[in-house]
């Protein structure tokens, strides 16, 4: 097909290349004219997204207006009510909140300090699901390990009766792979330390910052292994402990930690539809998670995603053209500590044909690549999406993409096809799961670029003459 010139775009978006991009040709039931109209409409949605302010207003209302919203909390309940009103205000229909019963973990007071070689208070945060310390607290010598691998390789009794400290560093990467290599210290650390007789686990925060803040996040236990308290300390405190370790100086650490587990609660998946036409029984699911940890405002994680996908659906609703397939926005409950919302949605909607599942849950950095997990026959449709996004600096990835976490659960459990819009996460883990996850971390221009990409891709998925699934997993 003919080449399309890049449209004029705001100068405030520095990642935009000035080039012409080819639109791939493919045969579709709607014919060349229908394809041309859909691509033109997708480009119009893209350009409208670059001017749209709905996402920014939504993010501020959710993050700054409601604030922390752990699943099952009062903040969560306020967010559920707010989200329903917001989605109706965007012109979406059949807005509802599906209840998801669950058991939650609740943080209590906690504090930690080095008692030797010199007294030093530590900035700390209990890890999600941590068991409490004894009421009087705990104090013990520190058994220091440079990373999780070193702990797992230790067959000695060095950890027995001590507080294991894992100094796992997190590498700054655009795609989040540095976090993926480091987060095992948080997930698996308590079990591996307990297997070696430790009385508690402390870790360097899984983060790329150097601020005096601690990063929380979920940890896991094994019923075959004693459960021990677990917490993270700030990166500067971890650096101080590494210096002492390098000098061969023994350390002692004391801490208190209160928490409750298995508290009965209810969260909700908030769902809204933009009904389709001839393929209305099929769904194009774009999602984010509504909950957050209890530190900070949950702005990047994941009010940004809520604003992005909601605004993208709102743009389609306001565009005056009805999609073939139903566009469905799902704001999942309890992504942070159990994926209860994703599993409940999949169970309740297992018989619905899903053309696509996708999730925005990596902050608000600009999108730089598009990947997917679709059947081979549908790959030309993804290429068509990439042609529309190319003026925004978005490249085409591969057909082995992995969507955001809740969508990935649905993709794997139900073999639903998926789309991945890769965001630049270079700075995401500076504030991830901390008190610094606030709205001032978000660039409104990058947020608009996200909306533009999501609106265009969602429209083309809804219009595709080819089924996207089942994918090869």
Q: For 191-205, write each residue's pLDDT tens digit.
A: 999 999 999 999 999
Which pLDDT score, from 0 to 100, does residue 34 have? Answer: 73
Q: For 280-335, write each residue's pLDDT tens digit.
A: 999 999 999 999 999 999 999 999 999 999 999 999 999 999 999 999 999 999 99
Q: Which of 164, 129, 160 is nearest to 143 (CA)?
A: 164
Q: Which of 446, 470, 473 is nearest to 50 (CA)?
A: 446
Instruction: Find the mean pLDDT for residues 124-144.
Output: 98
d(CA 449, CA 13): 8
Rounded to the nearest 10 degrees, the angle between the axes of helix 405-414 and helix 340-348 is: 40
Which pLDDT score, from 0 to 100, does residue 19 have? Answer: 30
Q: For 383-414, write each residue's pLDDT tens digit.
A: 999 999 999 999 999 999 999 999 999 999 99
d(CA 391, CA 15): 9
Which pLDDT score, from 0 to 100, does residue 6 have? Answer: 29
Looking at the DSSP bridge assignments, the partners of residue 354 are 283
Q: Which of 288, 204, 285 is nearest to 242 (CA)?
A: 204
- In degrees and rounded to multiples of 5, residue 371 shows phi and psi of -125, 170
Which pLDDT score, from 0 to 100, does residue 473 have? Answer: 86
Burial 369-401 (b: 16+ CB within 10 A, else e): bbbbbbbeebbbbbbbbbbbbbbbbbebbebeb
d(CA 209, CA 290): 25
Q: Enumerate residues 6+ apart whose C-beta is below 8 A from 13.
A: 50, 392, 445, 449
Looking at the DSSP bridge assignments, the partners of residue 126 are 231
Instruction: Find the mean pLDDT for residues 69-94.
Output: 98
* Banded pLDDT at 24 (limits 50, 70, 90): very low
Which pLDDT score, from 0 to 100, does residue 32 have? Answer: 58
Which pLDDT score, from 0 to 100, does residue 12 have? Answer: 30
Whether residue 112 contacts residue 254, with contact meaning beta carbons closer than 8 Å, is answered with yes
- Using the predicted structure, report yes or no on whether residue 8 has a pLDDT greater than 70: no
Q: Which of 269, 272, 381 is nearest to 335 (CA)?
A: 269
Instruction: Find the mean pLDDT for residues 265-290.
Output: 98
Percentage of the chain modeled with pLDDT above 90: 92
Instruction: Find the mean pLDDT for residues 211-220.
Output: 98
* Banded pLDDT at 35 (limits 50, 70, 90): confident
Which pLDDT score, from 0 to 100, does residue 18 have? Answer: 27
d(CA 379, CA 373): 9
Which pLDDT score, from 0 to 100, does residue 25 have? Answer: 31
Question: Domain limits of the chain?
Answer: 31-103+264-463, 118-250
Return the CATH number of 31-103+264-463, one of 2.40.110.10, 3.40.630.10, 3.40.1390.20, 3.30.70.890: 3.40.630.10
d(CA 289, CA 419): 16
End-to-end Cα separation, the chain, in angstroms: 32
Rounded to the nearest 10 degrees, the angle between the axes of helix 304-318 and helix 444-463 is: 50
- Average pLDDT of the chain is 93
Instruction: Could you please state the CATH topology (level 3) that the domain comprising 118-250 is classified under.
Output: Glucose Oxidase; domain 1 (3.50.30)
Q: Does the fold of domain 118-250 match that of domain 31-103+264-463? A: no
Which pLDDT score, from 0 to 100, does residue 240 have? Answer: 98
């Amino acid at each position: 097909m003919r080449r399309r010139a890049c449209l004029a775009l705001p100068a405030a978006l520095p990642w935009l290349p000035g080039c012409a991009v080819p639109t791939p040709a493919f045969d579709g039931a709607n014919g060349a004219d229908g394809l041309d109209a859909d691509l033109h409409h997708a480009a119009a949605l893209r350009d409208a997204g670059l001017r749209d302010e709905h996402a920014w207003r939504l993010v501020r209302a959710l993050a700054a207006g409601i604030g922390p919203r752990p699943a099952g909390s009062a903040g969560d309940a306020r967010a559920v009510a707010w989200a329903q009103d917001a989605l109706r205000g965007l012109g979406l229909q059949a807005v509802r909140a599906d209840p998801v019963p669950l058991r939650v973990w609740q943080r209590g007071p906690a504090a930690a300090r080095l008692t030797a070689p010199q007294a030093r208070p530590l900035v700390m945060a209990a890890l999600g699901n941590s068991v409490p310390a004894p009421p009087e607290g705990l104090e013990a010598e520190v058994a220091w390990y440079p990373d999780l691998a070193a702990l797992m390789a230790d067959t000695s009794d060095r950890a027995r009766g001590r507080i294991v400290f894992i100094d796992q560093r997190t590498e700054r990467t655009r795609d989040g792979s540095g976090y993926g290599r480091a987060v095992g210290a948080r997930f698996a650390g308590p079990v591996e330390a307990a297997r070696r007789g430790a009385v508690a686990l402390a870790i360097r925060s899984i983060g790329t910052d150097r601020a005096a803040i601690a990063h929380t996040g979920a940890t896991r236990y094994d019923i075959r292994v004693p459960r021990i308290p677990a917490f993270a300390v700030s990166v500067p405190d971890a650096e101080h402990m590494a210096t002492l370790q390098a000098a061969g100086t023994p350390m002692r650490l004391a801490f208190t930690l209160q928490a409750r587990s298995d508290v009965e609660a209810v969260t909700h998946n908030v769902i809204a539809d933009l009904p389709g036409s001839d393929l209305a029984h099929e769904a194009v699911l774009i999602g984010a998670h509504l909950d957050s940890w209890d530190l900070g405002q949950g702005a990047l994680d994941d009010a940004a995603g809520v604003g992005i996908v909601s605004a993208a659906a709102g743009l389609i609703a306001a565009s005056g053209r009805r999609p073939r397939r139903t566009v469905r926005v799902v704001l999942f409950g309890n992504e942070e500590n159990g994926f209860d919302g994703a599993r409940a949605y999949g169970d309740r909607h297992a018989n619905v044909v899903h053309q696509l599942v996708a999730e925005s849950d990596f902050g608000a950095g600009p999108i730089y690549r598009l990947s997917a997990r679709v059947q081979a026959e549908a790959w030309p449709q993804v290429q068509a999406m990439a042609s529309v996004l190319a003026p925004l600096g978005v490249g085409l990835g591969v057909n082995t993409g992995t969507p955001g976490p809740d969508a990935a659960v649905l993709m794997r459990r139900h073999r639903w096809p998926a789309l991945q819009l890769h965001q630049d996460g270079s700075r995401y883990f500076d504030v991830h799961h901390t008190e610094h996850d606030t709205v001032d971390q978000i660039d409104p221009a990058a947020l608009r670029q996200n909306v533009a990409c999501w609106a265009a891709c969602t429209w083309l998925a809804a219009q595709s003459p080819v089924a996207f699934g089942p994918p090869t997993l």
